[in-house]
C-alpha cells in the first residue's frame, strides 16, 4: 500500500479501533446465524446496537472528521490514499445524516427480526415476521430521506450496497435481460432442454457430501488456515474485514446434492475475493470488496460460468462418485445436464442461471414499491405470488416458498437484491475479457484463473469505485448483452 501523506497515516492509525469494532460485529453476526441459541437474541441485539452506536460516535469524532477533511484538500494523493478517503467519506455521509438513535434502533430491530423471520419461515406464516418488516421499512424510508436522492428514494439505498448504482442503471439492465430471458426460455422449451433429473430426488449422506465439497474446494484451491466451512439456514460468507479469516456456510437439504455443492462453490467465490485482497490493505477502509455487485460477480463466476461448465463437471465427477456411490450409474453428461436443468422454480437460491434474474426483478419491483410507500407490508405475500406467476408462470403454495424465502429483509438489506443481477452481468463480462476461460477450465488451470482475478479485481480491494474497477478489468462498465450472449451460446 502506497501511503505518503502523514495525514492519511494518522487517519489509518485512528481507524484501527473502528475496524476492530466492525470485526467484532462481524463475528457476532456470524455466530448469531451459525451457533447462537435462539434465546440469546436479546443480549445479542443489544450488543449489536451498542457497537453500531460506538462506531458512529468514533466516525463522527470532530478531530477524526477534521483529519479526513484535511486529507481531501491535499494534492498528489496516491490511488490508495484517494480510495481510503473516498470510502471514509461514504461512511461519514451515512453517519452525519442518519441520527444515532436510528442507527441503534435499526441494528436492534434487524437482530430481533432475524429470529422472527427464521420462526416465520419454519411455520410458513408471514404474520409472525410482518411487524418487524413494517418497522424495518419505516426505518429504511427514514434513512433514504436522510441520505438524500435525486429521483427515487430507492436510489439512496442502492448506493449503500453498490456505489453509484441508480434505478436508471437497474432498469436499463432489466430492459435488456427480461425480454432476452423470456425469448431464451421459449426456445429451450421448444428444444426440449432438460427440465428435471432423477438425481433431484436422490437422498445423500450429509457427511459424505461435506467431504466431497471439501475436496472440490481443494481442487480449485482454498487456503485451509484462513478458511472455515459451517452450516446455517441461509448460505453466506463473512470476511470479517480481514484477508486472514474468511468463513462460509452452506445448508444440507435431505435431497438434491446440487444445492450444497453449488452453494459452497458460490460462497468460495466470495471468500476468494476477500482472501486475495492485497494484504497491505488489511485493517483499513480499502481492505474489503468494493461493492456487493462486484462481490456477487465473483461468486456467480465460480458457481455458474466455471462450476456448471462441461470442463469443470469432468474434473469433479470422479470426486463426487467417490463420495456419493449412487452416482456410479450416471455419466459425466448426466451430471452436466443435472447441473444445468432449466425450469421456472419458486426458490431463488435453487434457480437455474437462465431464470435466476427474473427472481431478482420480482424483488426489485416490490422493494421499490415498499420504499415509495405504494404497497403495505401486509399485502406483500399476495403481491409476491402474483408477480411470481407473471414472471415465471408458477405460484407459491405458502409463505415459506414465497415472500419468506430470503433472509435479506430481516437484515434490513433493502436495495441489496439488484446487486445479484449486476453480479451476473459483470461475471459474463469477466468471462469475455478473460478470452480463453473454457480452455483454462478444461485444462484445470485454476491457479491461472485465480491469478487473473487477483490482478484485475481482487488485489485492489476498495481502492477504485465499482464502475471504474469493472471498466479497468473488462474494458467497459455494465453491459448485460454479454450475459445474454453467454446464456444463448451455452444453451444451444
Which residues, listed in sequence order, are joined to residue 250 by a DSSP beta bridge? 231
Q: Which of 112, 267, 274, 401 is catalytic?
A: 267
44: Cβ contacts below 8 Å, ≥ 6 apart: 28, 32, 36, 111
Contact 355, 188 (CB under 8 A): no
Contact 47, 29 (CB under 8 A): no
Distances in whole angstroms, Cα of residue 415 to Cα of each of 152, 173, 477 = 12, 15, 20
Annotated active-site residue 267? The verdict is yes
Neighbours of 142 (CB within 10 A): 15
Tens digit of pLDDT per residue, the chain (492 long)? 999 999 999 999 999 999 999 999 999 999 998 999 988 988 998 998 899 889 999 999 999 999 999 999 999 999 999 999 999 999 999 989 999 899 889 988 998 998 999 999 999 999 999 999 999 999 999 999 999 999 999 999 999 999 999 999 999 999 999 999 999 999 999 999 999 999 999 999 999 999 999 999 999 998 888 989 999 887 899 887 678 899 999 999 999 999 999 999 999 999 999 999 999 999 999 999 999 999 999 999 999 999 999 999 999 999 999 999 999 999 999 999 999 999 999 999 889 999 999 999 999 999 999 999 999 999 999 999 999 999 999 999 999 999 999 999 999 999 999 999 999 999 999 999 999 999 999 999 999 999 999 999 999 999 999 999 999 999 999 999 999 999 999 998
Phi first, then psi, for residue 4 (nearest 5°) are -105, -30
Element (H, E) at 246: strand 246-250
Residue that the C-alpha cell 484463473 belongs to: 449
- Distance (Å, rounded) from C-alpha 123 to C-alpha 329? 38
Determine the 3-state secondary structure of 12 from DSSP: helix
Q: 266 among the known binding-site residues? A: yes
* Set of cell numbers at residue 432: 469475455
Determine the 3-state secondary structure of 222 from DSSP: coil
Q: Which region, left, alpha or beta, applies to residue 223 given φ > 0 means left and ψ of -120 to 50 means alpha?
A: beta
Q: What is the CATH number of domain 167-490?
A: 1.10.1370.30
Q: 270 among the known binding-site residues? A: yes
In the chain, ranges of CATH 1.10.1370.30 domains: 167-490
Return contacts of 346-351, CB within 8 angstroms, 24+ apart: 346/388, 346/394, 346/396, 346/401, 346/402, 346/405, 347/401, 347/405, 348/405, 348/406, 349/234, 349/235, 349/259, 349/263, 349/405, 350/259
Q: 152 among the known binding-site residues? A: no
Amino acid at each position: 500500500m502506497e501511503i505518503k501523506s502523514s495525514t492519511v497515516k494518522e487517519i489509518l492509525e485512528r481507524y484501527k479501533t473502528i475496524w476492530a469494532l466492525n470485526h467484532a460485529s462481524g463475528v457476532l453476526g456470524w455466530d448469531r446465524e451459525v451457533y447462537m441459541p435462539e434465546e440469546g437474541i436479546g443480549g445479542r441485539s443489544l450488543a449489536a446496537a451498542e457497537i453500531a452506536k460506538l462506531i458512529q460516535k468514533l466516525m463522527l469524532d470532530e478531530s477524526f472528521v477534521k483529519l479526513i477533511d484535511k486529507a481531501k484538500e491535499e494534492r498528489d494523493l496516491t490511488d490508495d490514499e484517494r480510495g481510503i478517503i473516498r470510502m471514509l467519506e461514504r461512511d461519514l455521509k451515512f453517519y452525519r445524516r442518519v441520527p444515532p438513535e436510528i442507527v441503534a434502533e435499526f441494528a436492534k430491530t434487524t437482530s430481533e427480526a432475524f429470529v422472527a423471520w427464521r420462526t416465520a419461515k419454519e411455520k410458513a406464516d408471514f404474520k409472525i415476521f410482518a411487524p418487524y418488516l413494517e418497522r424495518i421499512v419505516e426505518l429504511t424510508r427514514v434513512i433514504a430521506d436522510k441520505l438524500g436522492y435525486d429521483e427515487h428514494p430507492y436510489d439512496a439505498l442502492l448506493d449503500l450496497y453498490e456505489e453509484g448504482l441508480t434505478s436508471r442503471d437497474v432498469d436499463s439492465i432489466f430492459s435488456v435481460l427480461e425480454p432476452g430471458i423470456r425469448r431464451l426460455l421459449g426456445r429451450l422449451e421448444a428444444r426440449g432442454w432438460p427440465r428435471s433429473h432423477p438425481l433431484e430426488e436422490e437422498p445423500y449422506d450429509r457427511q459424505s457430501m461435506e467431504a466431497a465439497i471439501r475436496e472440490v474446494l481443494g481442487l480449485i484451491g482454498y487456503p485451509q488456515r484462513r478458511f472455515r466451512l459451517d452450516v446455517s439456514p441461509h448460505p453466506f460468507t463473512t470476511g470479517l474485514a480481514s484477508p486472514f479469516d474468511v468463513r462460509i456456510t452452506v445448508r444440507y437439504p435431505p435431497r438434491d446434492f446440487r444445492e450444497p455443492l453449488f452453494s459452497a462453490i458460490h460462497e468460495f467465490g466470495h471468500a476468494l475475493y476477500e482472501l486475495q485482497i492485497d494484504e497491505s490493505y488489511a485493517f483499513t477502509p480499502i481492505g474489503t470488496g468494493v461493492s456487493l455487485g462486484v462481490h456477487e460477480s465473483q461468486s456467480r463466476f465460480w458457481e455458474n460460468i466455471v462450476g456448471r461448465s462441461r470442463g469443470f463437471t469432468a474434473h469433479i465427477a470422479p470426486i463426487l462418485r467417490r463420495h456419493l456411490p449412487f452416482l456410479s450409474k450416471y455419466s459425466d453428461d448426466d451430471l452436466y445436464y443435472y447441473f444445468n436443468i432449466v425450469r421456472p422454480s419458486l426458490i431463488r437460491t435453487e434457480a437455474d442461471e437462465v431464470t435466476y434474474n427474473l427472481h431478482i426483478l420480482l424483488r426489485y419491483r416490490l422493494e421499490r414499491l415498499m420504499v415509495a410507500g405504494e404497497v403495505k407490508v401486509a399485502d406483500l405475500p399476495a403481491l409476491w405470488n402474483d408477480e411470481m406467476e407473471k414472471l415465471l408462470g408458477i405460484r407459491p403454495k405458502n409463505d415459506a416458498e414465497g415472500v419468506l424465502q430470503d433472509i435479506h429483509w430481516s437484515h434490513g438489506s433493502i436495495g441489496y437484491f439488484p446487486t445479484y443481477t449486476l453480479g451476473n452481468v459483470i461475471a459474463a463480462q469477466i468471462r469475455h475479457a478473460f478470452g480463453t476461460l473454457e480452455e483454462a477450465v478444461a485444462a484445470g488451470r485454476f491457479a491461472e484463473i485465480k491469478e487473473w482475478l487477483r490482478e484485475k479485481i481482487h488485489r485492489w480491494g476498495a481502492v477504485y469505485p465499482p464502475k471504474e474497477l469493472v471498466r479497468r478489468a473488462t474494458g467497459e462498465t455494465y453491459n448485460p448483452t454479454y450475459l445474454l450472449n453467454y446464456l444463448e451460446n451455452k444453451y444451444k
